[in-house]
Amino acid sequence: MRDSEKLIGNAVGVIIEKVLMEFGVSNHSKIAEILGTYHMTFSDCYGKPDVLNSALKQVFDGEYLHPISKIKNELTGLEEDHKIEKFIELISEA
C-alpha cells in the first residue's frame, strides 16, 4: 500500500470511529470486536470495505444505512480520485 493510501486509510478509520461513537460506545465496541476477528483495525476498513459492510449490518441490522450516511457526509472532503466514492459504494451494498 502506498503512503498516500495508508494516510487515507488512517483518516477513513478515524472518521468511522468518530461516527460510531456518535451512535454509542457499545456500537463502536461491537464493530471493533467484529473487525478484530478479521485481524483488522478501523484503518483497515478502507482496504476491506466488505468487512465493514458486514459488521455494520450485524450491529445495526436494518438501520445500517444511518451510520453509512454519516460516514459518507464526513468523507466528502477526502475525495481522492474516485476511491472514496467506490469505498462508500461498497460499504453501502445491501
> What residue spans define the domains of the chain?
3-91
The predicted pLDDT at position 1 comes to 56
The stretch 11-18 carries a mean pLDDT of: 96
pLDDT band for position 79 (cuts 50, 70, 90)? low
pTM over 0.75, yes/no: yes
Q: Cell numbers 480520485 correspond to what residue?
A: 81
The stretch 39-66 carries a mean pLDDT of: 96
The predicted pLDDT at position 83 comes to 85
> Taking phi first (over 0 means left), then psi (-120 to 50 degrees means alpha), and beta for anything else, what does residue 41 get?
beta
Contact 85, 79 (CB under 8 A): yes
